[in-house]
Structure 1
Amino acid sequence: MKSSVLAATAVLPAAVFMTGNAGADPGNNDEPAAIAEAPPPEDAPPPPPEDGPPPPPEDLPPPPEDAPPPEVFPVGANWGMPAPHALPPGIANERGMQVKTILVSRSISEVFPQVHDMIGVRPDGQRWHPSGLAIDIMIPNAGSPEGIALGDQIVAYALRNAGRFALQDAIWRGTYYTPAGPSGRGNGHYDHVHITTFGGGYPNGGEEYLHEESEPAPV
Structure 2
Amino acid sequence: MGRHSLATKRRKPPIGVAALIAPAAVFFAVGGDVPSPDETSRDVEPVVTPVENQASPEATTPCCVELVAAPPTAPPFIVDEPDATPPPGEVFAASRLRIVDRALPAGIAPERGLQVKTILTSRAISEAFPEISNIGGVRPDSLRWHPNGLALDVMIPNPTSAEGIALGNEIVWYVLRNAKRFGMQDAIWRGVYYTPDGAQGYGHGHYDHVHITTTGGGYPDGDEIYLR
Sort the TM-score into its range (normalised by shorter chain): 0.5 to 0.7
1:81 CA drift (Å): 7.3
Equivalent residues of 1:172, 1:186 under 8 A apart: no
Alignment counterpart, residue 201 of structure 1, candidates 213, 218, 227: 218
1:115-165 CA-to-partner distances (Å, cap 9, x unmatched) read 000000000010000000000000000000000000000000000000000
1:97 aligned partner: 114
Q: Distance in 1 between matches of 2:79 and 2:139?
A: 34
Alignment counterpart, residue 131 of structure 1, candidates 140, 148, 151: 148
1:4 aligned partner: none
Matched residue type, 2:214: T
- Pairing 1:171–2:188 present: yes
Q: Distance in 1 between matches of 2:203 and 2:143?
A: 14
Matched residue type, 2:79: A
1:188 CA drift (Å): 1.0
1:148 aligned partner: 165
1:80–1:197 CA distance, 2 compared to 1 (3 A): farther
1:65-122 CA-to-partner distances (Å, cap 9, x unmatched) read xxx999x9668xx948753310011001001000000000000000000000000000
Matched residue type, 2:227: L
Aligned residue pair count: 143
Map 1:38-117 → 2, pairs under 5 A: 79=75, 82-84=78-80, 85-117=102-134
Q: Which has the higher contact order (CA 8 A, sep 6+)?
A: 1
1:131–1:183 CA distance, 2 compared to 1 (3 A): same
Equivalent residues of 1:170, 1:195 under 8 A apart: yes
Q: Distance in 1 between matches of 2:148 and 2:163?
A: 32
Alignment counterpart, residue 136 of structure 2, candidates 116, 119, 123: 119
Q: Distance in 1 between matches of 2:202 and 2:77?
A: 34
Q: Distance in 2 between matches of 1:109 and 1:176?
A: 22
What TM-score does the superposition give when structure 2 sets the normalisation length? 0.58
Q: Distance in 1 between matches of 2:203 and 2:104?
A: 31
Alignment counterpart, residue 201 of structure 2, candidates 148, 172, 184: 184
Give percent identity, aligned residues only. Answer: 62
Runs of 4+ in 1 over 4 A off after TM superposition: 72-75, 78-82
State the SS of the aligned residue for 1:187.
Answer: coil
What TM-score does the superposition give when structure 1 sets the normalisation length? 0.60
Q: Distance in 2 between matches of 1:101 and 1:137?
A: 12
Q: Distance in 2 between matches of 1:136 and 1:191?
A: 9
1:48-79 CA-to-partner distances (Å, cap 9, x unmatched) read xxxxxxxxxxxxxxxxxxxx999x9668xx94
1:98–1:141 CA distance, 2 compared to 1 (3 A): same
- Consecutive unaligned residues of structure 2, counting only runs of 5 or more, are 1-39, 47-68, 81-101
Deviation larger for 131-140 or 78-87: 78-87
1:185 CA drift (Å): 1.5
